[in-house]
């Protein structure tokens, strides 16, 4: 399967996908990396891995549908079958969604996925870690989901949880979540590449059954310690 990755920033999730493809942990290749931000570190990571890149600056582009149409053109030219948003700081338009909507080969699943640094449906949108800290939650995490027309509202593929510890600030919580993102995103893309996911309403099935929840991973949160 040929992946197109859209990234606006550091690209550490892109790196996790590049590494997983290189090591054949997922049966896919990153065919194109697109960024809307000139100089994004993600573009350097892709170039270092020998992956084609393109930067289409979004600043000063008021016509969002036209902008997305140009992205879609690039992705189609590269033969991309699945679009992975990885720190892509723009909402995609209906133009984009319809170009990579459900298909027969994708078993009815949309062909755009995203990773979000919170346990959706809690804390969608920007600054998810800040939102979690402000809400005083004791557990947060990350979510891989199909993309629909809403903001982080699409069907949930997989989630991983981390504890929120006393004294956490935003960078500390973000780093703990990011470590889980780097594990979860390749795993979820691997399922898609193997054609193992399907949709039943809003529920994502793995091999026709609900996907098992991963265990809490942090050594700080052992069984029996949660009230």
Least distance between ligand GRF and beta carbon 219 (Å): 22
Query: What are the φ and ψ backbone dihedral angles of 190, each rounded to 5 degrees?
Result: -60, -40
Contact between 181 and ligand GRF per CB under 6 A: yes
Helix (H, G, I), strand (E, B) or coil at 62: coil
Nearer to ligand GRF, 35 or 106 (CB): 35
Residue by residue, DSSP assigns 138-179 as SEEEEEEEE--SSSS-SPEEEEEEEEPPTT--HHHHHHHHHH
Taken as a whole, the chain contains a residue count of: 227
Are residues 85 and 110 in contact, defined by beta-carbon separation less than 8 angstroms?
no
Q: 104: which strand partners?
A: none
Least distance between ligand GRF and beta carbon 16 (Å): 8
Measured distance CA(90)–CA(8) in Å, rounded: 9
Query: What are the φ and ψ backbone dihedral angles of 214, each rounded to 5 degrees?
Result: -70, 150
116 is catalytic: yes
The catalytic position among 116, 127, 145, 182 is 116
Helix (H, G, I), strand (E, B) or coil at 130: helix
Contact between 157 and ligand GRF per CB under 6 A: no
Least distance between ligand GRF and beta carbon 21 (Å): 15
Nearer to ligand GRF, 69 or 89 (CB): 89
Number of residues that bind ligand GRF (CB under 6 A): 13
Tell me, residue by residue from 72 to 91, as one string, x for binding to ligand GRF by CB under 6 A and - for no binding: --------------xx----
Structure token digits, residue 11: 């690209």
Contact between 180 and ligand GRF per CB under 6 A: no
Are residues 17 and 5 in contact, defined by beta-carbon separation less than 8 angstroms?
yes
Measured distance CA(2)–CA(211) in Å, rounded: 24
Span from 60-68, 114-122, 154-162, 212-220 in contact with ligand GRF (CB under 6 A):
114-122
Tell me, residue by residue from 5 to 44, as one string, x for binding to ligand GRF by CB under 6 A and - for no binding: --x-xxxxx-------------------------------
Q: Which residues bind ligand GRF (CB under 6 A)?
A: 7, 9-13, 86-87, 115-117, 178, 181
Show which residues are catalytic: 116
């Amino acid at each position: 399967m040929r992946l197109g990755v859209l990234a606006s920033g550091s690209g550490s999730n892109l790196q996790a996908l590049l590494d997983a493809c290189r090591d054949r942990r997922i049966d896919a290749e990153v065919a194109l990396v697109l960024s809307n931000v000139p100089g994004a570190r993600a573009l350097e990571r892709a170039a270092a891995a020998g992956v084609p890149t393109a930067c289409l600056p979004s600043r000063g582009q008021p016509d969002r549908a036209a902008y997305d149409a140009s992205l879609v053109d690039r992705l189609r030219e590269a033969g991309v079958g699945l679009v992975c948003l990885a720190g892509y700081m723009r909402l995609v338009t209906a133009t984009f969604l319809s170009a990579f909507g459900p298909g027969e080969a994708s078993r009815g699943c949309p062909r755009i996925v995203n990773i979000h640094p919170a346990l959706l449906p809690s804390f969608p949108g920007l600054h998810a870690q800040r939102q979690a800290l402000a809400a005083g939650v004791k557990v947060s995490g990350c979510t891989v989901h199909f993309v629909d027309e809403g903001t982080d509202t699409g069907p949930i593929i997989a989630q991983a949880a981390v504890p929120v510890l006393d004294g956490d600030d935003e960078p500390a919580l973000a780093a703990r979540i990011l470590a889980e993102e780097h594990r979860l995103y390749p795993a979820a893309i691997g399922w898609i590449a193997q054609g193992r996911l399907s949709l039943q309403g809003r529920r994502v099935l793995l091999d026709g059954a609900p996907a098992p929840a991963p265990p809490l991973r942090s050594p700080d949160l052992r069984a029996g310690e949660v009230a």
